[in-house]
Homo-oligomer: A and B are copies of this chain.
Amino acid sequence: MISSPHNEKLKLIRKLQARKHRERSGLFAAEGEDLVEAAERAGAAVEFVLVAGQDVEPELLDAVSELGSGTRVIGVYRQSWSPPGGDLSVYLEGVRDPGNVGTIFRTVHALADGPLVLGPGCADPYSPRAVRASMGSVFARPPARAALAELEAFKLALDGSAGAVLGEVDLRTPLVLCLGGEREGLPADVIAGADAAARIPMRSDAPDSLNVASAAAVGLYEVANRMADRA
C-alpha cells in the first residue's frame, strides 16, 4: 500500500496533468471505474492502475486526482494512435476545447468506422477532460494525427456559409467530415482544400453556429444514413 506522497507512481500521475509531460512520456491517466473498465475492455496498454484503499491511501489518490475527492481508481496508460482511414471519419482543425474533442470521440465511435483525426490547433485528445468526455471511446477507437492534405478520402467541410445543405450535397466514399473551431470555423485553406462544403440548415434567427460536437454529430448522422441507404 502506497503511503508516501513522494511515491513515483503518484508523482507521475500528477505530472501527466500537463500536456508537456504527456507528450514527452507518451502516457496519460484516466480516472474512475468506468474509464478503467473501458480501457480493460479495449485491451489498452496499461502501465499501472491504483485502487484507493487497496494499492494506495485514499487521501493520496485524491491529492493527485483531477476530479478531486472520492476518486476510487486511476490508471496510467500508453497513448495509442490510429492510422487515418475507414469509410467515414472526422478531421478537426483548431478545436481547442478538450470537452468537445472528447465528446466527438464518443460520437465517432458510435456512428463512424474510422478514427477521429486531429489536425493543427486541437486540444490534446489525451488530456483529462477529453478522456473523460470520451467516456472510454478514446480507448476503443484511438485518435489519428494528420494534416488534411495527407488524407486520401473525399473531404466534406462543414461550413456555416456554404451554399449547399448537408442533406443534398454529393457524397463519395471514403469520406472524411471536416470541422473547425467554434469561433473561427475552418480556415479558408481547409475549405479550399476540401472536395465539397455544406452547411447544416438553421432558422433565420439562429445563432451563428452550433456547438462543434453537436455539428459533428449531425454531420456524421446524415452522412452515415445516406451511405447506408446507398449500400
Contact = CB atoms under 8 A, between A and B. Distances in A.
A202 B111 contact: yes
Contact of A218 (B133, B137, B217): B217
Interface residues of A, number: 36
Interface stretch (A56-64, A101-109, A184-192): A101-109
Interface string A204-220: 01110111011111100
Given A213-B213, A221-B200, A205 B140 contact: yes
How many copies of this kind of chain does the complex include?
2
A51 to B, nearest CB: 22
Interface in A98-135: 99, 103, 106-107, 109-113, 133, 135
13 contacts: A103-B211, A106-B214, A109-B203, A109-B205, A109-B207, A110-B206, A111-B203, A112-B203, A133-B211, A200-B221, A210-B217, A213-B214, A215-B217
